[in-house]
Amino acid sequence: MEQLDHFRAQVRAWLEENCPASMRTPVVADEDICWGGRRFVYQSEDQKLWLERMAAQGWTVPHWPRQYGGAGLDRAQCKVLQQEMAALGCRAPLTSLGVIMLAPALFKFASEAQKLAHLPGIARGEIRWCQGYSEPGSGSDLASLQTAAQDMEDHYLVNGSKVWTSYANMSDWIFCLVRTDPRAPKREGISFLLFDMTSEGVSTAPIRLLSGASPFCQTFFSDVVVPKANMVGEPNKGWAIAKYLLQHERNMAASLGRPGSGRKKPMEQVALETLGDDHGKLADPVLRQSLARLQIREQAFALTMQRVGDEMKAGADPGPASSILKYCGSEINKQRHELNLAIHGMAGLGWEGEVFDEGRIARSWLRSKANSIEGGTSEIQLNIIARRVLGLPATS
């Protein structure tokens, strides 16, 4: 305990000394988020400095071992760091798909040489990664993917196309599911390949979404040469890695259902201000009931997240829970956005101009529709629950 207090004092002093003042203000705009990578345009010198200083400490990924760019902190120390950063209002120095999506797979499945080659670059925010999973012809049926990596003796030759590649046009490297055996059953001919997005033959085209934003790309590969050393795990064994990462992704997507995520003012306050009150009750009795039902679902969901977390700490298998949480979380978030639209009425459907906050309400409502599609649709989650959790027989 005394050691931890000592550590806390050290952390606090270091943060006081090294966190630039502008990095102690709340994240408001998209540009406030630091994604890192070779193509990243830093919002300010401070943003760059903050990333570099934290990376040098190993504190972008404090729980990773030192040889991979972390600080080797234990759980209690990580919590202290988190608490001290929160106390000072420090921004996250790095937001990274490499950290949250790729690294768990590398730690579990990659060779030592691959870990040493890729993890430190992720930790320092030098290399930004994107994920090559879905294809134009392979959405929910992910395992039917067709992007081919042909074995050319001393390298692989990659041809095909990926879609919904988040920020592919800003990323340096891609982790990609490719077909290495076209004759094997679909799940047994897939491999997990890493390659540089500046390789010859790689091109990207942003996709404009309903919300007007373009965070995703379609990505094209034409005779891309990839060294054999870039395959994670054995050839044709990539589906196990894919499934592992998908489960991981579901766990993160689930947090959408938590009350208050992505919202500044409590919804009941917005509702009271917008709809007015009648002797302390929300003036519209039907919307009042809808709001109560939503908040009941939010609270029940938050308690379930807590229970699942506590069960995992007690040694339970998180496997079955991730589909339940992904399904409920995304459906609740959609419900929340629908109710938010209803409460705001026509003003919630404004698209441009300051009066409508540039369509913030409508755009985030549109974004929420993707929640039950990305990372495995709600229907896929229900299939998983029915088959793997409830043990119902396969559909013939």
As annotated, the active-site residues are 249
Is 291 a binder of other proteins (CB under 8 A)?
Answer: yes
Is 358 a binder of other proteins (CB under 8 A)?
Answer: no
Toward other proteins, which CB reaches closer, 101 or 246? 246
Owner of token pair 């409460």? 343
Of the candidate spans 94-102, 125-133, 150-158, 284-292, the one that interacts with other proteins by CB under 8 A turns out to be 284-292
Is 260 a binder of other proteins (CB under 8 A)?
Answer: no
CB of 285 to other proteins, least distance (A): 9
Helix (H, G, I), strand (E, B) or coil at 202: strand
Per-residue x/- track, 372-391, other proteins (CB under 8 A)? -------x-xxx-xxx-xxx
Owner of token pair 């606090």? 12
Contact 325, 250 (CB under 8 A): yes
- Compute the radius of gyration of the chain from its Cα atoms: 23
Toward other proteins, which CB reaches closer, 97 or 305? 305
Contact 216, 209 (CB under 8 A): yes
Rule CB under 8 A: choose which of 45, 311, 357, 358 binds other proteins.
311
Cα 384 to chain centroid, rounded: 21
Is 56 a binder of other proteins (CB under 8 A)?
Answer: no
Is 286 a binder of other proteins (CB under 8 A)?
Answer: no
Strands 173-179 and 129-132, bridge-based pairing: parallel
Toward other proteins, which CB reaches closer, 219 or 322? 322
* 50 residue type, one letter: W
Contacts of 199 (CB under 8 A, 6+ apart): 224, 225, 226
Is 240 a binder of other proteins (CB under 8 A)?
Answer: no
Number of residues assigned to the chain = 396
Per-residue x/- track, 326-345, other proteins (CB under 8 A)? -xx-----------------
DSSP 57-107: HTTTSTTS-GGGTS----HHHHHHHHHHHHHHTPPPS---HIIIIIHHHHH
Q: Give the integer Cα–Cα distance in Å for 352 and 360.
A: 9
Toward other proteins, which CB reaches closer, 10 or 299? 299
Toward other proteins, which CB reaches closer, 149 or 332? 332
Contacts of 246 (CB under 8 A, 6+ apart): 142, 375, 376
Rule CB under 8 A: choose which of 140, 307, 358, 360 binds other proteins.
307
CB of 153 to other proteins, least distance (A): 45
Is 300 a binder of other proteins (CB under 8 A)?
Answer: yes
Toward other proteins, which CB reaches closer, 101 or 324? 324
Is 393 a binder of other proteins (CB under 8 A)?
Answer: yes
User: Which DSSP letter does residue 357 get?
Assistant: G
Residues that bind other proteins (CB under 8 A): 268, 271-272, 277, 280-282, 288-289, 291-293, 295-297, 299-301, 303-304, 306-307, 310-311, 313-314, 321, 324, 327-328, 379, 381-383, 385-387, 389-396
